[in-house]
Chain A
Amino acid sequence: MACNCCNGEDKEKYAELEAFIESLPTTKGELIRVLHRAQGIFGYLPREVQVYVAKKLNIPVSKVYGVVSFYSYFTMKPKGKYDISVCMGTACYVRGAERVLEALTKKLGIGTGETTMDGKFSLRSLRCVGACGLAPVVMIGDKVYGRVTPESIDDILNECE
């Protein structure tokens, strides 16, 4: 029972999510698992997806929203093509992560949790990648860049073409 209001691509995505939900032996207590999959499929969790999940699991939308907004892993905004995360773990912090984040904010003209107008970059801060030996650390997608300085961010951004 995918909705009728969306385009073909969305339809496929909803169908994939529906198939996943139906493959679960029980939906009891599986909200977070379903949201993980939904974010994997859609890239983020917009209102419509949350409403859809609530309907499928037969729970109030407020509960879905409550969970989505509680956990930092879930996002309600689409990420950029290059999702940049600056590690703000303590090891990175004492080795100057704040200045790196500041420099990125200035350079990209967006704050943390935001995406550039052209959809190319999004910026986030995260807690400890576990690569403290390389502090301060910046991640773009799955790639980890170590010992980053405000001066070296240009080189890193230039790789994103």
Chain B
Amino acid sequence: MADTKMHVLVCGGTGCLSSNSSDIVDNLIAEIKAAGMEDEVKVLKTGCFGFCEKGPIVKILPDNTFYTQVKPEDAKEIVAEHIVKGRKVERLLYMDPEKEQHISDAKHMDFYKKQMRVALRNCGFIDPDNIEEYIGRDGYQALAKCLTEFTPEQVIEEVKKSGLRGRGGAGFPTGLKWQLARANDADQKYVVCNADEGDPGAFMDRSILEGDPHSIVEAMAICGYAIGASQGRVYIRAEYPLAIKRLENAISSAREYGLLGDNILGSDFSFDIEITFGAGAFVCGEETALLRSMEGNRGEPTTKPPFPAEHGYWNKPTNVNNVETFANVPVIFLKGADWFNKIGTEKSKGTKVFALAGKINNVGLIEVPMGTTLREVIYDIGGGIKNGKKFKAVQTGGPSGGCLTEKDLDTPIDFDNLVARGSMMGSGGMIVMDEDDCMPSVARFYLEFTEEESCGKCTPCRIGTKRLSELLKDITQGKGTEEHVKELKRISQVIKDTALCGLGQTAPNPVLSTLAAFEDEYMAHVKEGRCPAGKCTALLKFFIEADKCKGCTLCARNCPVGAISGEVRKPHAIDQEKCIKCGACMDRCKFGAIVKH
């Protein structure tokens, strides 16, 4: 390491790996070897850099050059130009869309400027498979500090003082949760890490596990010390093979280094971690359902109380936190609770990771201080809406959340503000939608999801979500009436009031929030038989604008069902009865005379 003058970091997150970043690593190593520089230049496959839109990403240290959309065949040029001759490869640098200039250092890019990386501090900096790199960035120091300087009660006090709240969805204060688990005496207690990230469109936990697995191992050990547990379990989705591999590796190297196992760091504290696989059920993100699944059963939630802090895994006191929550823990001890609670808003401290996706220019994983506004996230970091379209809504909180609109853009994002506006933080999925997205269809999409994922235990959720999804289907297929909309509201309220667990109680949120902001759009569907966004095929009608039509007959000749008629050089017309709404006419017309609405 001492002779290494340069590090080449290649993103090994799922997005970049899908774009062959492994081949980039292989080619870079081969080219560096061919140049005889293998002692001076080290190539590392790291976790996610976050800027997935422009992946695969290659970063070169120490000059911090950030190459985007690199292909395996670019390795040759990067080595020959940048590494051997010290000249940056201009064409691979990020192009600032506004100034139309190349930017070479990531810290000057709008995407990174407003970000603050706490939970993601090591993602994209270290080789996740090498424990020494984690240790090199102060890894396991927080654990050592807790074991040598703090009593378990002081550890809990410190977490409480930091103001950390659970990042998995509801935002329960983490320190309080630990305290409750500590207060219950038992011969065995458990620390569980919820890595069953099931929100479609969220991938922050996966990125942390893939990019910085040791931070989770360390935090779970700290939690074990605090609550008095000697066993930890990570409940992880079987669909995340790479994260599983890296975590397994991290656990076994922590054991080798004496950071897991008996008498950690010479103390009388012993702790070990095992991995349990989930099998694809959204409801298992709910902690009581998760515990049932860990015991090998159907993942059905149970009523609370009793809370897992009393009767959890195998009926023993259990503390469940999600991945991102744990990732914050070591930092609190490294930098102090006072440092942590200065970040964020009054009641939501620290940062939040969001998976920014949908119709936005810079899709990726971002981390911002709580209190950042949606506008800053969408326009400054996200680079605005794709293809210059108009912003319509942003969906936060996944299937349990809701849609926020233009009027919410300047709201500082925190747990309470999002709930007050009919959505929620959830795990941090943030899906941006533009003018082409139809809100009843979006609500239908989410309700089809919850209908499928409802565990079936309680009636309001099992039947209620099915009824909601049927009503929404009718509306988007042009069979809806005003009664449908009324019924949507009524059933939503019943489900909210009576469902057993968080999944059911929040399932109507996508319906209620879109109804609140876009009732006119629902009404257009049911009263006028019209889909304003032009998305619901069953409601579309194609028309020929007479003043633009030249009577060239091209559309009539291409209509597969002979629905278009008219004389040559005279305006044509579409027979709505025959039209199958395939859009072939519109695609062919050279005069833009065919419109749909």
Chain B binds chain A: yes
Kindly state the separation between the CA atoms of A112 and B449 in the bound complex, as whole angstroms: 15
Kindly state the separation between the CA atoms of A151 and B200 in the bound complex, as whole angstroms: 25
Q: How big is chain A's contact interface, by range?
A: 35 or more
Kindly supply a per-residue 1/0 record for chain A positions 55-70, scoring 1 wherever the CB is within 8 Å of any chain B CB and 0 otherwise: 0000000000011001
Cβ of B330 within 8 Å of any chain A Cβ, yes or no, is no
Supposing A72-B279, A90-B201, A128-B203 touch, asked if A146 and B298 sit within 8 A by C-beta, the answer is: no
Residues of chain A within 8 A (CB-CB) of B177 are none
In the complex, the answer to whether B199 meets A128 with C-beta atoms within 8 Å is yes
Kindly state the separation between the CA atoms of A130 and B240 in the bound complex, as whole angstroms: 9
Contact pick for A70, options B201, B276, B455, CB 8 Å: B455
Cβ of B239 within 8 Å of any chain A Cβ, yes or no, is yes
Supposing A94-B437, A132-B15, A132-B363 touch, asked if A29 and B295 sit within 8 A by C-beta, the answer is: yes
Contact pick for A33, options B19, B206, B276, B357, CB 8 Å: B276
Kindly state the separation between the CA atoms of A31 and B299 in the bound complex, as whole angstroms: 13
Residues of chain A within 8 A (CB-CB) of B15 are 130-134, 146
Kindly state the separation between the CA atoms of A72 and B284 in the bound complex, as whole angstroms: 12
**Distance in Å: Cβ of B329 to nearest Cβ of chain A:** 23
In the complex, the answer to whether A131 meets B52 with C-beta atoms within 8 Å is yes
Kindly supply a per-residue 1/0 record for chain A positions 74-110, scoring 1 wherever the CB is within 8 Å of any chain B CB and 0 otherwise: 1000000000000011110111000000000000000
Residue among A67, A88, A133 having the largest count of chain B Cβ atoms under 10 Å:
A133
Supposing A133-B15, A133-B363 touch, asked if A72 and B281 sit within 8 A by C-beta, the answer is: yes
Residues of chain B within 8 A (CB-CB) of A15 are none
**Distance in Å: Cβ of A133 to nearest Cβ of chain B:** 3
Contact pick for A32, options B17, B279, B355, B455, CB 8 Å: B279
Supposing A70-B298, A133-B53 touch, asked if A127 and B198 sit within 8 A by C-beta, the answer is: yes
In the complex, the answer to whether A94 meets B358 with C-beta atoms within 8 Å is yes
Supposing A131-B15, A133-B15, A133-B363 touch, asked if A29 and B279 sit within 8 A by C-beta, the answer is: no
Look across to chain B and name the residue whose beta carbon is closest to the beta carbon of A33. B277
Kindly state the separation between the CA atoms of A129 and B202 in the bound complex, as whole angstroms: 9
Residues of chain B within 8 A (CB-CB) of A135 are 357, 363
Cβ of B55 within 8 Å of any chain A Cβ, yes or no, is yes
Kindly supply a per-residue 1/0 record for chain B positions 437-453, scoring 1 wherever the CB is within 8 Å of any chain A CB and 0 otherwise: 10000100110010000
Supposing A70-B455, A132-B15 touch, asked if A90 and B280 sit within 8 A by C-beta, the answer is: no
Kindly supply a per-residue 1/0 record for chain A positions 110-142, scoring 1 wherever the CB is within 8 Å of any chain B CB and 0 otherwise: 000000000000000011111111110100001
In the complex, the answer to whether B55 meets A133 with C-beta atoms within 8 Å is yes
Contact pick for A90, options B52, B276, B395, CB 8 Å: B395
Contact pick for B299, options A28, A33, A70, CB 8 Å: A70
In the complex, the answer to whether A90 meets B431 with C-beta atoms within 8 Å is yes
Look across to chain B and name the residue whose beta carbon is closest to the beta carbon of A139. B18
In the complex, the answer to whether B239 meets A126 with C-beta atoms within 8 Å is yes
Supposing A73-B239, A90-B398, A131-B52 touch, asked if A32 and B293 sit within 8 A by C-beta, the answer is: yes
In the complex, the answer to whether A36 meets B238 with C-beta atoms within 8 Å is yes
Supposing A70-B281, A93-B445 touch, asked if A129 and B14 sit within 8 A by C-beta, the answer is: yes
In the complex, the answer to whether B279 meets A74 with C-beta atoms within 8 Å is yes
Look across to chain B and name the residue whose beta carbon is closest to the beta carbon of A66. B298
Cβ of B101 within 8 Å of any chain A Cβ, yes or no, is no
Kindly state the separation between the CA atoms of A29 and B297 in the bound complex, as whole angstroms: 8
Residues of chain A within 8 A (CB-CB) of B357 are 90-91, 132-133, 135
Which 3 pairs, one residue from A and one from B, show the smallest C-beta to C-beta distance? A133-B52, A91-B357, A130-B203
- Return 6 A-B CB contacts under 8 Å, by A number: A29-B294, A128-B201, A129-B14, A131-B18, A132-B363, A137-B18
19 further A-B contacts with Cβ under 8 Å, apart from A90-B429, A91-B431, A93-B445, are A32-B277, A32-B296, A36-B279, A66-B298, A72-B279, A73-B278, A73-B279, A90-B357, A90-B358, A91-B201, A91-B358, A94-B359, A128-B203, A129-B239, A132-B201, A133-B52, A133-B363, A134-B19, A142-B241
